[in-house]
Chain A
Amino acid sequence: MRLGAARYALLIAALYSATVLFNINFEKYFHRADEGDVIRQVFGGMRQMIASWAYMKAEEYHHGGLPFMKAAEFHSGGEALSEERSGVHHECGDGAECAHRSHHHAALPGRDLYAKIYEHVKVTRDTHLSASQGREILPWFYIAVKFDPHDIRGYVLGAYSLRRLKRYTEQLTFLQEGARNNPSSARILTSLGEFYFTRGAYAEAFDYLSRACGLWREAKGINEVRTDYERMDRLQAYDLLGAIYEKQGLRSEALKLYKEIHALDPSQALSDKIVRLRERED
């Protein structure tokens, strides 16, 4: 560890560079190269790792500090935020931390001394942040998308967290940035469509949702439906677009959409809508 002045200068320069990394618009400087580019593979992979780590931190904060791997024992893949966004959990009110799933994790075998001590020194309870504490989660989403501008999950769930905090302007800015970095992401376009739909801006919502539905229909690459969350997003895009058609009096268009999504994702709610529209058509 004996360092000369030159090495100290180098270290300080490295440190300074590390601190300014957060302020660099990576997308602007990002070297776009072929998939086979070794530099891109190595450094791109590292950035994705940091983004994934930041995402895990966000999940950890969402669970009141319960480590991601422990949270995974309660939720599929630990993605409680995705579940909650999809309406699986109820929203937490203000005040003390929401403890609606406040239980100790069951990973440790038995109740030996290690388990007892572990419970006292680590966070083992799944308590969700209260509404006022919810902002604490935000830095990790910003870090995740800063390091990996193609982290669609980071954009969608970060925007959802902003919505929970009623920060609608930031939510829109965040989603728009996500759409700029990922113009062909059906999930982000669906979120943007939903944003405008809930505000009654149907023209904008129509634009985003029709593009989203087109991409869901193609189901290529990032828009392939693999998880329940993606399935729910696709359903939402079709559902909202159908609702806009209905508002415009275009019932046959709405019916066509509902039938299309019902064939992929049958549900009672959709069946009811289809029946209702058919009756009106008749």
Chain B
Amino acid sequence: MAMNRILVIAGAVIRELVRRKDFYFILALLLVLILFASSASFGGESGFERFFKEIGITLAFSFSVLIAISFAARQIPEETESRTIYVLLTHPISRFQFILGKFLGVFLVAVISFSVFYLVLIASLLLRSDHNTPALLLAEGYLLHAALLAFMTSLTLLLSLFMSTMANTAISLITYFGAVWFGANIQGYIFLPHPELLDIKDRLVHSAEVIPAWVVGSLVVYAAAYVMIFLTLAYLVFRKRNL
């Protein structure tokens, strides 16, 4: 019964993905940029494998994170501003179920979008007869990025309880790009989360070595632990919120 309520809230978020034009626009953008990267020629020469893979993976990863953050950042503020949250909470839905439903909905939206982007990328690699990256490594890239999307979704959902949609979107994007680009270079970083470990773009572009299963498993558990921490914190804050 409780699961049904969570799924109802999550379903409403997924319907939003279909209704809104964000996803279609981003998909069109991805296709245009992939076509451009595919046809780009340098010094009269084209068909650069690593360059193409780098552009394609960067776009698929970044665009799905953008969707996760933009959806997560506006869920609770929009419900509050439009006062639909009051209607929702008059139903037998607990605040914990509400938070969990929102998280699940945004996470699924992000994963669905990412799956489409990733499929476009894999299809274009196959069309270019690029079989250098093992299928298992591609699958690991998919799984770890899905874990990263869960991490970013829960973090953004937590931050949305403290700041406006725009500020939250900006801070969450800075957190993502900052961690992915500079995460491993910050000294004294042991007590902070390491989302950069979930990003294996460089491996996918430059290496054909598959990541051991214990590493992937540990990272998924690691991400799940942070998701639980962020969602618990979000619930604790939201529970006390005077609505």
Residue A42 lies at the interface, judged by CB distance under 8 Å to chain B: no
User: Would you call A120 and B211 a contact (CB within 8 A)?
Assistant: yes
User: Would you call A136 and B200 a contact (CB within 8 A)?
Assistant: no
**Residues of the A chain whose Cβ atoms lie less than 8 Å from the Cβ of B51:** 136, 139-140
**Residues of the B chain whose Cβ atoms lie less than 8 Å from the Cβ of A117:** 197, 215, 218-219
Instruction: Give complex CA distance A221, B197 in Å.
Output: 43
Known: A118-B184, A136-B48. A123 touches B42 (CB 8 A): no
On A, residues with C-beta under 8 Å from B are 1-3, 8, 11, 15, 19, 22, 57, 61, 64-65, 67, 69, 108, 114, 117-118, 120-123, 135-136, 138-140, 142-143, 162, 167, 170, 173-174
Instruction: Give complex CA distance A110, B164 in Å.
Output: 41
B5-13, B29-37, B80-88: which lies at the interface: B29-37
Q: How far is the CB of B218 from chain A (nearest CB, A)?
A: 7
**Residues of the B chain whose Cβ atoms lie less than 8 Å from the Cβ of A170:** 43-45
User: Would you call A118 and B202 a contact (CB within 8 A)?
Assistant: no
Closest to B144 in A: A121
Top 7 closest pairs, chain A to chain B, by CB: A65-B206, A142-B42, A136-B50, A120-B215, A139-B51, A139-B42, A123-B202
User: Would you call A123 and B207 a contact (CB within 8 A)?
Assistant: yes
Q: Which of B25, B40, B185 makes the CB contact (< 8 A) with A11? A: B25
Instruction: Give complex CA distance A143, B50 in Å.
Output: 15
A-B residue pairs in contact (CB < 8 Å), sample of 29: A2-B20, A8-B25, A19-B32, A19-B36, A57-B54, A64-B206, A65-B205, A108-B184, A114-B190, A114-B194, A117-B219, A120-B211, A121-B144, A121-B197, A122-B184, A122-B202, A122-B203, A136-B49, A136-B51, A138-B43, A138-B45, A139-B40, A139-B48, A139-B51, A140-B51, A143-B42, A162-B43, A170-B45, A173-B43
**Residues of the B chain whose Cβ atoms lie less than 8 Å from the Cβ of A167:** 43
Question: Which residues of chain B in 12-31 are interfacial with respect to chain A, using CB atoms and an 8 Å cutoff?
Answer: 20-22, 25, 29
Residue B156 lies at the interface, judged by CB distance under 8 Å to chain A: no
Residue B212 lies at the interface, judged by CB distance under 8 Å to chain A: yes
**Residues of the A chain whose Cβ atoms lie less than 8 Å from the Cβ of B207:** 64-65, 123
Instruction: Give complex CA distance A170, B51 in Å.
Output: 19
Closest to B32 in A: A15
Closest to B210 in A: A120
Q: Is the interface of B mostly helix, strand, loop or mixed?
A: helix
User: Would you call B200 and A121 a contact (CB within 8 A)?
Assistant: yes
Q: How far is the CB of B73 from chain A (nearest CB, A)?
A: 10
B interface size (C-beta, 8 A): 37
Instruction: Give complex CA distance A142, B44 in Å.
Output: 11
Instruction: Give complex CA distance A69, B194 in Å.
Output: 18
User: Would you call A121 and B218 a contact (CB within 8 A)?
Assistant: no
User: Would you call A1 and B202 a contact (CB within 8 A)?
Assistant: no
**Residues of the A chain whose Cβ atoms lie less than 8 Å from the Cβ of B184:** 108, 118, 122
Closest to B40 in A: A22
Instruction: Give complex CA distance A1, B75 in Å.
Output: 13
Closest to B209 in A: A120
Q: How far is the CB of B19 from chain A (nearest CB, A)?
A: 11
Instruction: Give complex CA distance A194, B77 in Å.
Output: 65
Residue B172 lies at the interface, judged by CB distance under 8 Å to chain A: no
Instruction: Give complex CA distance A122, B215 in Å.
Output: 12
User: Would you call B48 and A65 a contact (CB within 8 A)?
Assistant: no
**Residues of the A chain whose Cβ atoms lie less than 8 Å from the Cβ of B212:** 120
Instruction: Give complex CA distance A22, B207 in Å.
Output: 28
User: Would you call A135 and B48 a contact (CB within 8 A)?
Assistant: yes
Instruction: Give complex CA distance A61, B42 in Å.
Output: 16
User: Would you call B203 and A138 a contact (CB within 8 A)?
Assistant: no
Residue B70 lies at the interface, judged by CB distance under 8 Å to chain A: yes
Q: How far is the CB of A234 from chain B (nearest CB, A)?
A: 28
Instruction: Give complex CA distance A135, B206 in Å.
Output: 14
**Residues of the B chain whose Cβ atoms lie less than 8 Å from the Cβ of A142:** 42-43
**Residues of the B chain whose Cβ atoms lie less than 8 Å from the Cβ of A3:** 21, 25
Closest to A67 in B: B202
Closest to A173 in B: B43
Instruction: Give complex CA distance A108, B185 in Å.
Output: 9
**Residues of the A chain whose Cβ atoms lie less than 8 Å from the Cβ of B144:** 121
Instruction: Give complex CA distance A122, B190 in Å.
Output: 18
